[in-house]
Amino acid sequence: MMSMCNTRQLLVSRRSVLQNTACGFGWLAFSAMLAKQTMAGSRRSAVSTSSAPSVSGTAKRVIFLSMRGGPSHVDTFDYKPELAKVDGQAGPRPGSKWMKSPWAFSQHGESGLWISELFPELSKAADALAIVNSMQTDVPAHPQATIRMHTGTSQFVRPSVGSWVLYGLGAENESLPGFVSIGPTGSAQNYGNAFLPANYQGMRIGNGNREVDETQISNLAPIVGSDRQRRELDFIQAMNRKKIERDSGDQEIEGVIHSYELAFRMQSELPKVMDVKSESEETKTLYGLDRKETKAFGSKCLMARRMAESGVRFIEISHGAWDHHNNLTKNLLDNCTSIDRPLYGLLTDLKQRGLLDETLVVWTGEFGRTPYAQGRDGRDHNHKAFSLWMAGGGVAAGQRYGVSGEFGVEATENPVPVVDFHATLLALLGLDHEQLTYPYAGRDFRLTDTKGRVIRDLIA
């Protein structure tokens, strides 16, 4: 309820400010300050009033790498030696046959984590990873599972995890959107704010796997001088405030006002942050920008690091087409190749800059794939077991958590439903998933709804 009180206070204060101050541009900064206080307040409430086990996470932001389509876990991060032994034999589904991974696995780093040869570069950073092999979700259909991974439920329209994180932690940089989704596909619900205020909505940059650069945010460059624009904005916002006064504090008009504040500040900040060209050649190479196959994803990773550095709370990068019903041998290899170097680059770069400890990196799909074949060279959806990994942000790295049975069909030891992953993610950010609530439709809602269990073993 804390958050609601604050929101109301904000409205009241904002209105009284409007009534008492001249309509100068300084107002923007003032309202931003208020907003910041509100968010800090809600975060405090989420942390301090916790009656549950104390939440100790220290991560400040998230880079969420969303592999759309369901990457095959048994070919990437879930080593299944037993599967090779039954290759070609009858599988568990009528008529199915087990299919061993076409790729070899080996152990890496001091931790000795098993990683497939599809990730020769990332393997070098094995000790930074906490691999969860026992993820589970409820529906093996892309849209539902993707939305569940992003919002906790596919049955209702609920705020996305990025919106919750931004709501909980507040914006670090008032000149940038606090939540950015780079190259998303599918439903806007995946970065939607649902019933949270509109300023917690993710800002979409680009679409799908195409390369992204700063020119893709349309209309970012001001077309008039700064003095002119300042006066124009003053005029617009003064008019908007008059409308709010007439309409007794219409929420939607608040949304319009906020959108102008952020739009104005973004004009100067966002292009700078997105401009990866200004990085050194060495850094660009680190992210694989020198190679055709890794350039697109590498640029996005580099952009994500720049955003993380500049104070964007939640940065999501989507990477598509992991739905390997057929041509697995070629297409999975291509996909992994396109991200392997950039992933290593991202983790290395974050570490070098001292950002890794406070930046939680998550790599995940919406579900996994069957260890038995579909057709000759493919795997079907599998929601009963899949793998994700986390790095940085206070994660207990260098471990493999959970087991997906002998063959990878279903999580058998320490299964981690999506809701537990969400609870853990929030905990890593110092947010108590039971306390981070928002009142809506007569009750307090949370990302984890009525469930969620923080997995202590994953927190350092």
- Contacts (CB under 8 A) with another protein, residues 162-181: 177
CB nearer to another protein: give 127 or 377: 377
Q: Dig out the tokens for 323 from the structure.
A: 């739905």
- 46 near another protein (CB under 8 A): no
Query: Site for another protein (CB under 8 A): which residue of 211, 247, 334, 413?
Result: 247
Residues that contact another protein, how many (by CB under 8 A): 82
209-236 burial, b for 16+ CB within 10 Å, e for fewer? beebebebbeebeeeeeeeeeeeebbee
Q: Contact, 162 vs 181, CB < 8 A?
A: yes
Stretch that binds another protein, among 31-39, 48-56, 254-262, 356-364 (CB under 8 A): 254-262
Query: Site for another protein (CB under 8 A): which residue of 115, 126, 171, 262?
Result: 262
Stretch that binds another protein, among 109-117, 167-175, 248-256, 307-315 (CB under 8 A): 248-256
End-to-end CA distance of the chain: 30
CB nearer to another protein: give 197 or 398: 197
- 403 near another protein (CB under 8 A): no
Query: Site for another protein (CB under 8 A): which residue of 20, 210, 223, 292?
Result: 223
Question: How many whole angstroms separate alpha carbon 143 and alpha carbon 139?
Answer: 9
Give bridge partners of residue 371 from the DSSP assignment: none
Map the footprint of another protein across residues 20-39, applying CB under 8 A.
23
Find the shortest distance in angstroms from Cβ 416 to another protein.
19
Map the footprint of another protein across residues 141-160, applying CB under 8 A.
141-144, 146-147, 154-157
CB nearer to another protein: give 334 or 457: 334
Find the shortest distance in angstroms from Cβ 157 to another protein.
5
Map the footprint of another protein across residues 102-141, applying CB under 8 A.
138-141
CB nearer to another protein: give 258 or 291: 258
Map the footprint of another protein across residues 412-451, applying CB under 8 A.
none
Binding mask 193-222 for another protein (x = CB under 8 A): -----x--x-x-------------xxxxxx
Map the footprint of another protein across residues 266-325, applying CB under 8 A.
266-267, 320-323, 325
- 232 near another protein (CB under 8 A): yes
